[in-house]
Amino acid sequence: MEIVTMKDVVFGYGDVPSLVNASLAIRQGEFVALTGPNGASKSTALKLMLGLLKPWGGTVQLTERHPEGRALEIGYVPQQIAAFNSGFPSTVEEFVLSGRYHRSGWLKKLKPEDRRKVEEGLRRVGMWDFRDRRIGELSGGQKQRVCIARTLAQEPDFFVLDEPITGMDKDSRMSFYSLMEEQVRDRGCTVLMVTHNLEEIRGRLDRIIELTKREDGGWKCCTTTSCKGHFAPAG
């Protein structure tokens, strides 16, 4: 099953196209890296897939349903989401807990299960001991891990991660890769991650999608590389 597809998509800013005839497909249960040089419209591609931007041309289709029939849950970590200023009022635990409201609704009382998932998410990224700290007091790497914990607490089916390891040290990065691999292997989730650290993660991936420069300008999707031989390249 294809979670999201882009076919011959054209998009740009102002009157200058940045993506030209971009086509790709992300399938249920695969771990995919999206890469390319700086300025290659990687973040733009993610936003187009999620419907946050509308293409000038071509089509984007994001499935609304999980293969089991329920609504597809998406966990999106944008680039630089961790740039909270020092005055951000929320504690770490409060911020991660807010990720559970999409399940219970803002007007409903959270259940013990919600708090258990928050604790689990914070422990998985090594931030439980910081639960009472204000977000703005944390380092950049710590903020990034808290954002990932919030996404884990959402229990998404589809992780969409825009350079999620920014600010992390090597041990934290390797732990994060293992965590995402576990989400794919044990929960059947789909992970799409923008990254430049391919050498660290290549062996864990099913596929690499690379944005490449067109001769006449703009970026196109995509060169696809099968890392495990499990999925055929997208057209």
pLDDT tens digits, one per residue of 121-137 = 999 999 999 999 998 88
Taking the CA atoms of residue 134, residue 135, residue 137 and residue 142 in that order, the dihedral angle to the nearest 10 degrees is: 130
Per-residue confidence (pLDDT) for residue 18, from 0 to 100: 85
Could you tell me if 197 and 188 are in contact, meaning their C-beta atoms sit under 8 angstroms apart?
no
Q: 85 in helix, strand or coil?
A: coil
Per-residue pLDDT reduced to its tens digit, 16-41:
888 888 888 999 999 999 998 888 88
Domains and CATH numbers, the chain: 1-73+157-235 (3.40.50.300), 85-155 (no CATH)
Q: Which of 135-139, 146-150, 189-193 has the highest mean pLDDT?
A: 189-193
Residue 101 sits at φ, ψ, to 5 deg, of -70, -25
Across the chain, what does the average pLDDT equal?
Answer: 84
Amino acid 217: pLDDT: 58
The residue behind tokens 């420069």 is 213
CB atoms within 10 A of CB 92: 26
Q: What is the pTM of this model?
A: 0.85
What pLDDT sits at residue 86?
60
Rounded CA-CA distance 144/79 in Å is 10
pLDDT at 103: 56
User: Could you write out the DSSP letters of every residue in 25-54?
Assistant: EEETT-EEEEE-STTS-HHHHHHHHTTSS-
233 confidence band (pLDDT: 50, 70, 90): very low
Query: Rounded CA gap, 46 and 76, in Å?
Result: 9
Q: What is the pLDDT of residue 19?
A: 87
| Per-residue pLDDT reduced to its tens digit, 37-80 | 888 889 999 999 999 999 999 999 999 888 787 889 999 998 86
